[in-house]
Amino acid sequence: MNALHDLRTLRPASIDEAVRALAEEGAQPLAGGTDLLPNLRRGLGTPRVLVDLTAIAALDAISVQADGSLRVGAAATLAALAGQAAVRTGWPAVATAAGLVAGPTHREAATLGGNLCQDTRCVFYNQSEWWRAGNGYCLKLRGDKCHVVVKSDRCYATYHGDVAPALIALDASVEIAGPAGTRTLPVAALFVEDGARRLTLAPGEWLTAIVVPAMNDWRADYAKARVRDAVDFPLAGVAVALRREGDRLAGLRVAITGTNSAPLVVPTEGVTGRAWDTEAAATLAKAVQATANVLSTTVAPVKYRRRMLQALVRRLTDELWTRA
């Protein structure tokens, strides 16, 4: 790890102040710093100004709103989210996903906004400066070719965020602030499937809150495969939300992470409106296979990650169908 390059840090006390600070050229939000700071110390990015969002009181609130939805400030920590009784009872998949991120010390600092907006990862990118220089860098930063998909003109680095798929499966949205005002987006629309571009945020835009609708008669869960249960990123992660009416699967939403450059929705049209049985499971498995583009961006073999993904989707859907 290198020393940080020269930069300024600002610590605004209000959302308006943060909007002004982040409108500055070369400014970047800093939340828990658990993703950003290790990356900067490896030379992965050179922001001129870091805008620390953790002093803005309104940004760490977690509350259940009058319409029954859950509102989480973007700087609420994952430990707070995973630990809060209202979240564990009303939105257990969100609490589970937040509680499975990294290790307990990370979760005390790491925030939901930072978790959603974390950088994509790749074995050829998350390396020291000298390692990357020795390998001629790569398309994502300073180089001109991708080592994973050699003839590609885009980066395939993988998105490994745990909480995004749970939020997507629950139809959550993000509130965004920026120089042009505020706007709201479905969580799925925050991401772009390009490992270098990552997010659909315009310059100066940042997340202020995440809103998750009431679950009503939906049931949902999140599961991940990782090398070490104590700390690691998902090699494959799956969120399933399901609504059962008698012997009929009335609604099914599946989202995946750890496979592509963005968390993605798996199309489930061929499965809903019927019973969850072996045939439906085979149809869903094909949809998962068609959606996931697992490449050699991590140390774990591609075949293992594909199989884990299929197994997790099947296991979660079976369990939720039975519980419902």
36 binds ligand FAD (CB under 6 A): yes
Q: Which range binds ligand FAD by CB under 6 A, 27-35, 184-192, 241-249, 315-323? A: 27-35
Number of residues located near ligand FAD, criterion CB under 6 A: 33
Q: Give yes or no for a contact between 98 and 76, defined as CB atoms under 8 angstroms apart.
A: no
In angstroms, what CA-CA distances link 170 with 19, 114, 153, 183, 196?
28, 19, 33, 19, 27
CB of 260 to ligand SF4, least distance (A): 11
What's the CA gap between 75 and 93, in Å, rounded? Answer: 19
Residues in Cβ contact with 133 at an 8 Å cutoff, skipping those fewer than 6 apart: none
CB of 153 to ligand SF4, least distance (A): 10
What's the CA gap between 78 and 95, in Å, rounded? Answer: 8
Q: What is the DSSP string of 40-85?
A: HHTTS---SEEEE-TT-GGGG-EEE-TTS-EEEETT-BHHHHHH-H
Which one of ligand SF4, ligand FAD, none interacts with residue 74, CB within 5 to 8 A by kind? ligand FAD
* Nearer CB in complex with ligand FAD: 45/301: 45
In angstroms, what CA-CA distances link 313 with 147, 225, 241, 259?
30, 11, 11, 13
Question: What part of residues 244-303 is at the interface with ligand FAD (CB under 6 A)?
Answer: none
Instruction: Show the site string, 70-89: x = touches ligand FAD by CB under 6 A, - = not.
Output: ----x---x-----------
Q: Return the SS3 of 265.
A: strand
Footprint on this chain of ligand SF4 (rule: CB under 6 A): 122, 124-125, 138-140, 146-148, 155-157, 195, 297
Which one of ligand FAD, ligand SF4, none interacts with residue 122, CB within 5 to 8 A by kind? ligand SF4
Q: Give yes or no for a contact between 136 and 147, defined as CB atoms under 8 angstroms apart.
A: no
30 binds ligand FAD (CB under 6 A): yes
Q: Which range binds ligand FAD by CB under 6 A, 84-92, 157-165, 259-267, 285-293? A: 157-165
315 binds ligand FAD (CB under 6 A): no
**Angle, helices 278-291/302-323, rounded to nearest 10 degrees:** 140
Which one of ligand SF4, ligand FAD, none interacts with residue 237, CB within 5 to 8 A by kind? none
Q: Return the SS3 of 119.
A: coil
Question: What part of residues 109-138 is at the interface with ligand FAD (CB under 6 A)?
Answer: 109-111, 113-115, 117-119
Q: Give yes or no for a contact between 251 and 272, defined as CB atoms under 8 angstroms apart.
A: yes
Beta strands in the chain (DSSP E): 8-10, 27-30, 49-52, 62-64, 70-73, 173-178, 181-186, 206-212, 219-225, 236-245, 248-257, 264-266
Which one of ligand FAD, ligand SF4, none interacts with residue 222, CB within 5 to 8 A by kind? none
Q: Which range binds ligand FAD by CB under 6 A, 83-91, 108-116, 268-276, 305-313? A: 108-116
CB of 258 to ligand FAD, least distance (A): 9
Question: What part of residues 207-246 is at the interface with ligand FAD (CB under 6 A)?
Answer: 207, 231-233
CB of 263 to ligand SF4, least distance (A): 17
Applying CB under 6 A, which residues contact ligand FAD? 28-36, 38, 53, 74, 78, 101-102, 106, 109-111, 113-115, 117-119, 160-162, 206-207, 231-233
